[in-house]
Structure 1
Amino acid sequence: MRFPWSRPREGTGWSWQSNQGLVAIPIVLVLVITVADVLSPPDVHLGPLLVVAPALTASFGSSRLTALIGILATGALFTIAAVRNSIFTSNHESQLVALIVISVFTVFFCRLRERHNTELKQVRSVAEAAQEVVLHPLPERIGPLSVAFLYEAAADQARIGGDLYAAVRTRGGTRLLIGDVRGKGLMALDDADLLLGAFRSAAHRELPLEALQAELDAVVTWGLAQPNRHGHDAEESFITGALIDVPDHEPRISILNSGHPAPLRLRDGRVTMLSPRRYAPPFGIPLPQDPGAAPDVYDFAPGDLLLLYTDGVTEARDTAGDFYPLAERLPDIVPGGMHPFDLLTVLREDLLRHASGSLGDDAAVVAVRRDIPGRPRTV
């Protein structure tokens, strides 16, 4: 797939393939300690230091490898005792017993960690599969538009996010949706599926954006009021979102924003925030429809690029606690005329660099460019 779609990252444990060289460290330690003990004076005992070998192995190796290093260390201690002719002394017997006990406990806890990592991997796999069923990949091209999308999972990948996006083709254009569900977990995923399903079934009917927003809001409000939902989080659920209508043959776009971060328009290296004159209420909040919340119309000429995003992008913090300045960063990292795929690739690298490689919340971005007629749409 030629999009910077980022699946939840695997666990923090190191793999055998990437750390084979580390196995030499405990082995070398066992050899060095053994030789040093044998060559030391009779009153100097370095054998107890052999416990470092299995303990160190547990930090990067499997329980089986840890057990093997523990056996190696025990054999080395037995060798030291044999060379010193002190196998049956209380000193070496106590050292052997202590080393065996510590090695057994180290292997036991290493095994518990492996079981935990396996369970967490299964949870992540289920979460990823469920989210990909709800979030359909966007096509690379829709009419006169080139499209790319990005979903970057937060550091806590076991929590399913509620970021969402969708695109529906109409007879004379394309309708887009970007949104963010309040909360996390399966309930947030269910809410996202509710809004996405309503959008996909209604957007192609070419209702005015005000009518489409009202219909989506009615569906979400109905879904949030169902008796199977309970608890404090359920009572305060809502979805921010933005509906975008992009006609094929007119250099403009219409945006109806329901409490969502304002989209950005990139034109000739300049970034414009498309803030609404008045926000519509978020989906799912039982308020009277605001007659003042009407779509805003903006220029969207060939070559222009529209960036839709969730607050996981702009609320990503660096080590000093500062938010990611998306609008300010784009002119510095994105040259004019960049393809949406390339833009999101660069944006993702810059975002993760700002957040030291770990986001606090899921982040979704959709980049849409109106292609110039007659110019090849190359990546």
Structure 2
Amino acid sequence: MRVRRELLRSGRPWWLSHGLLAIPLALIAAITVLDISTPTSIHLGPFLVAAPAITASFAGPGLTGAIGALAVAAQILIGRLHGGLTTPNHQAQIAALIVISVLVTVFRYARDRHQRQLSQVRSVAAAAQQVLLWPLPHRIGRLRIESAYISAEAEAEIGGDLYGAVPVPGGTRLVIGDVRGKGLAAIGEAAALVGAFRGSAYRHLPLTALAAHLGNSVYWNLAHAPEEDLESFVTALVLDVHDDEPAIEMVNCGHPPPILLGDGRIRSLEVAEPAVPLGLTAPAESDYKVESFTFGPDEVLLLYTDGVIETRNRSGAFYPLTDRLALWNEPDPAALVRRLHDDLLRYADGNLGDDVAMVAITRPPEPESG
């Protein structure tokens, strides 16, 4: 049972690890038989070191040490049958095999310990993502929503991009934003902004008042941040999607404009007077202006952060977002986000220079009564 637990901890299926274990065992048996059968002038015992080395590639330290001990026992048996254990040659071979087996076992133990620590860090990051950046529901009212997040950090689950959605009377309110910079400071600012957005949901503020509330929240947090973070800011987009009319209302605070897809057309929802990014000043409600756009049934609204359009390929060319969207003409938000996610990673060869967040929204036609 202990051997089986070792194999299960190695991360491979039991049947596969069980088959791999036969390799070092067969190697020990074959080398022992061949060495005993050959003249004493031929020494095959040193090849026994391959058994614990191979075992370390798929099993834990306990099983690696056991195979190493079995290899040492085989070397002792060979020595007894080939002139005795007192010969300097056999003593040197046994000592060398013991040292190498111990080293391989220690290295495997250190690797397993590092893997456990890395798994714990990843689990904490995943838990933090669930707390700080809740996955958006696939449905809110009549809306169908799909979202995706890609962190630029290789081992991270979250970064400085953010999004959120809450139901409000008569519709759904959404936010998407991008904190300048990366790392822990960006994560903290993103968490503060998402918290302020959720905390204001029950107050049913107008969009201009919500934007001012978020701007003051970011400004206050940055005022109490370390000196190196004082020049940070957040681009953001807040919008209401109405239930009873084919329209959205939006306040843009220096964020890339959303894209509306439908009827074979692609429209960039540019506002006439975008506000400055959040955190640069302590804003008032009058600093923001709401602009309205049509958003009909079966159209898809794509929100995204600038990590999408600033992704580069090997030649340094930016990602052609509108060209890709026109080529796909994808009406399903889940399929659109999945395609965009995979295509971005392919375009950048898996090495994104910035965090990426994307949200696709559609409103199916209301079913006819009767």
TM over 0.5, yes or no?
A: yes
Paired residues in the alignment total 359
Q: Which has the higher helix share?
A: 2
- Aligned counterparts of 1:318 and 1:60: Cα–Cα separation in 2: 36
Candidates 4, 11, 14, aligned match of 1:15: 11
Q: Which residue of 2 aligns with 1:138?
A: 136
Moved more, 286-295 or 135-144: 286-295
Moved more, 264-273 or 132-141: 264-273
Kindly indicate whether the alpha-carbon contact (under 8 Å) linking 2:134 and 2:164 is maintained by their aligned counterparts in 1.
yes
**Identity, % of aligned positions:** 48
C-alpha change, 1:66 and 1:199, in structure 2 (3 Å) is same
Local SS of the residue matching 1:245: strand
Q: Which residue of 1 aligns with 2:337?
A: 344
Q: Which amino acid aligns with 2:104?
A: T
Deviation of 1:368 after TM superposition, in Å, equals 0.7
Kindly indicate whether the alpha-carbon contact (under 8 Å) linking 1:179 and 1:240 is maintained by their aligned counterparts in 2.
yes
Is 1:230 the counterpart of 2:226 in the alignment? Answer: yes
- Aligned counterparts of 1:225 and 1:282: Cα–Cα separation in 2: 15
Aligned-CA RMSD value: 3.3
Q: Which residue of 2 aligns with 1:9?
A: none
- Aligned counterparts of 1:222 and 1:124: Cα–Cα separation in 2: 31
Local SS of the residue matching 1:260: coil
- Aligned counterparts of 2:210 and 2:241: Cα–Cα separation in 1: 15
C-alpha change, 1:141 and 1:90, in structure 2 (3 Å) is same
Using the size of structure 1 for normalisation, the TM-score is 0.80
Structural mapping, 1:1-379, within 5 Å: 15-17=11-13, 20=17, 21-40=19-38, 42-154=40-152, 156-158=154-156, 160-202=158-200, 205=203, 207-226=205-224, 229-232=225-228, 234-286=229-281, 294-315=289-310, 324-332=319-327, 334=328, 336-338=330-332, 340-355=333-348, 361-374=354-367
C-alpha change, 1:158 and 1:152, in structure 2 (3 Å) is closer
C-alpha change, 1:76 and 1:265, in structure 2 (3 Å) is farther
Local SS of the residue matching 1:55: helix
- Aligned counterparts of 1:82 and 1:107: Cα–Cα separation in 2: 26
Kindly indicate whether the alpha-carbon contact (under 8 Å) linking 1:151 and 1:364 is maintained by their aligned counterparts in 2.
yes
- Aligned counterparts of 1:169 and 1:44: Cα–Cα separation in 2: 81
With a CA cutoff of 8 Å and minimum separation of 6, indicate the structure with the bigger relative contact order. 1
Kindly indicate whether the alpha-carbon contact (under 8 Å) linking 1:221 and 1:283 is maintained by their aligned counterparts in 2.
yes
C-alpha change, 1:236 and 1:107, in structure 2 (3 Å) is farther
Local SS of the residue matching 1:70: helix
C-alpha change, 1:155 and 1:64, in structure 2 (3 Å) is farther
Deviation of 1:217 after TM superposition, in Å, equals 0.7
- Aligned counterparts of 2:219 and 2:235: Cα–Cα separation in 1: 13
Deviation of 1:290 after TM superposition, in Å, equals 12
Local SS of the residue matching 1:120: helix
C-alpha change, 1:85 and 1:259, in structure 2 (3 Å) is farther
Local SS of the residue matching 1:178: strand
Post-superposition Cα deviations, 1:226-279, rounded to whole Å, max 9, x if no partner, equal: 2xx3242x2233222211222223323233332333322221454433344454
Runs of at least 5 residues in structure 2 that lack an aligned partner in the other structure: 1-8
Runs of at least 5 residues in structure 1 that lack an aligned partner in the other structure: 1-12
Kindly indicate whether the alpha-carbon contact (under 8 Å) linking 1:271 and 1:331 is maintained by their aligned counterparts in 2.
yes
Q: Which amino acid aligns with 1:188?
A: A
C-alpha change, 1:196 and 1:54, in structure 2 (3 Å) is same
Post-superposition Cα deviations, 1:88-108, rounded to whole Å, max 9, x if no partner, equal: 321121111111111111211
Kindly indicate whether the alpha-carbon contact (under 8 Å) linking 2:260 and 2:269 is maintained by their aligned counterparts in 1.
yes
Deviation of 1:169 after TM superposition, in Å, equals 2.0
